[in-house]
Amino acid sequence: MTNILEVKHLKKYFDTKAGVLHAVDDVSFSIKKGETLGIVGESGCGKSTLGRTIQHLLPATDGTILFKGRDVTRLSKKETRDYMKEVQMIFQDPYSSLNPRMTVKQIIMEPLLIDGRKKKEAESEVRAMMETVGLDARFENAYPNELDGGRRQRIGIARALILKPEFVICDEPVSALDVSIQAQILNLMQDLQERLGLTYIFVTHDLSVVKYISDKIAVMYLGNLVEYADTEELFAAPRHPYTRALLASVPTTDLTKARKIQVIAGEITSPIEPAPGCRFAARCQAAGEKCACIQPELIENGENHRVACHLYGAKED
């Protein structure tokens, strides 16, 4: 299978009064068509910024984003518009991302009208899409606040899929939902992936969700990718001390039970003008001298398994 997306040395920095914030710092990975890559980490680790930079909602500071072999950081305005049709986003809180003054039909139809579709044609596409995502036709004239959280997220999914994208970036799409509704939405997303041949990036802080939905997982810490592996492998043999701490902090990975990530001990380093060395060093019980001054690179450590930690350095001959 070929890679549909390759991200190489991607950086997204923000100028702040306190200095330059390194939200995404030299991140590289690839995804094959039809796969789901879960990106997991605590809040503030840069995972949502990474998703938004890939979708072009934020311009990249440096690096390349190859989508089907083309560098999308160098597209013209027209090419960018076409790219943003092929790569859509589903957001965390459907309530705040949906216009409360528009009906369900208007919300789902808007991207089609902007794309130049005639109203009649657009209406029949909306009806078909509502059926695809399991939204009853009787809701087409309802407003978002008249529907429950699960149905609101189905509207968000329908709007994201109405232009028939190949790639969808899902930013915490089930975090605002009750545990019982989460499973329904995740099952719907898996079903849609198979039926429509979609590829997903799934951004979340919830390890149980990411385990359930992802083929591969990338773990982020303060702007860096610190571990990347197949899902089964990552849960069976986590390498990076941060991944291990994350896994140990989740009391259950059962999707039907309430889960809460406990806070990992130690101070989080600032992502503003970060000091040299490993960014996890202040919280790492295995930190050594080298960790304070040399930043570890993400290198192979096992089949399809990469880790950025001096404990797993390149083998010397």
> Which residues contact ligand SF4 (rule: CB under 6 A)?
240-241, 278, 280-281, 284, 286-287, 291, 296, 309-311
Beta carbon nearer to ligand SF4, 211 or 240: 240
Beta carbon nearer to ligand SF4, 84 or 220: 220
What is the dihedral sign for C-alpha 254, 97, 163, 146? positive
Beta carbon nearer to ligand SF4, 208 or 243: 243
Beta carbon nearer to ligand SF4, 189 or 278: 278
User: Taking the complex as a whole, how short is the minimal distance between the CB of residue 9 and ligand SF4, in angstroms?
Assistant: 20
User: Taking the complex as a whole, how short is the minimal distance between the CB of residue 122 and ligand SF4, in angstroms?
Assistant: 51
User: Taking the complex as a whole, how short is the minimal distance between the CB of residue 292 and ligand SF4, in angstroms?
Assistant: 8
User: Taking the complex as a whole, how short is the minimal distance between the CB of residue 242 and ligand SF4, in angstroms?
Assistant: 6
Beta carbon nearer to ligand SF4, 105 or 310: 310
User: Taking the complex as a whole, how short is the minimal distance between the CB of residue 289 and ligand SF4, in angstroms?
Assistant: 9
* CA dist., res. 23 & res. 68, Å (int): 25
Beta carbon nearer to ligand SF4, 272 or 311: 311
* CA dist., res. 121 & res. 114, Å (int): 13
User: Taking the complex as a whole, how short is the minimal distance between the CB of residue 42 and ligand SF4, in angstroms?
Assistant: 15
Phi, psi of 263 (to 5 degrees): -75, 135
Beta carbon nearer to ligand SF4, 185 or 278: 278
User: Taking the complex as a whole, how short is the minimal distance between the CB of residue 308 and ligand SF4, in angstroms?
Assistant: 7
Task: Judge contact between 37 and 44, C-beta under 8 A.
Answer: no
